[in-house]
Structure 1
């Protein structure tokens, strides 16, 4: 399993636009090989929005993510956001044997 997480800090007046963009990405991703789940989340006690995509593997992410996210390429994030997005890529090590320093 491989997870892509992107944290957005939108200007308050653009939170709806950011979430709408994230939902367009979600819809574009439906049926993508190796994409198990995708969607936006809103911070419960704050104004951030978090996009989470769960992929079967890093290989699936590398092969298909660009096409999935292309639907938002022309969205004006530079106008919508108060800070640059933070992108976090996570490898699943829950069942990994051995020394954690080797993961």
Structure 2
């Protein structure tokens, strides 16, 4: 079964492009990792941005965490987002 990592951002209007750019960098790095299946960004038309990454397994997702966080882990989301990132991780059924 595949495994998904979902992150919901609520960017402040003046930081929306910075959040999109960060999420795009995350996606670029994810695409280079073993076990990668799919990634994308959903604009839900309410101002939120939803990042989705799908992996072949939880092990692949966990192994990808280090290079992904090396890419975006220092981005100032507490400044960019109006509220904390809402995250969901789990098996895709």
**Would you say same fold, with TM above 0.5?**
yes
What is the 5 A alignment of 1:9-48?
9-43=10-44, 45-48=45-48
**What secondary structure is seen at the aligned counterpart in 1 of 2:75?**
coil
Higher RCO structure, 1 or 2 (CA under 8 Å, sep 6+) = 2
In the TM superposition, residue 71 of structure 1 has moved relative to its aligned partner by: 0.4
Task: Mark the runs of 5 or more structure 2 residues left unpaired by the alignment.
Answer: none
Does structure 1 retain, via aligned residues, the 8 Å contact 2:7–2:51?
Answer: yes
In the TM superposition, residue 66 of structure 1 has moved relative to its aligned partner by: 2.6
TM-score by length of 2: 0.90
Deviations 1:65-84 (A, max 9, x none): 23123201221111101000
CA RMSD, Structure 1 to Structure 2 (Å): 1.2
Corresponding position of 1:52? 52
The separation in 1 between residues aligned to 2:21 and 2:82, in whole angstroms, is: 17
Task: Mark the runs of 5 or more structure 1 residues left unpaired by the alignment.
Answer: 94-103
Structure with the greater alpha carbon radius of gyration: 1
Aligned length in residues: 92
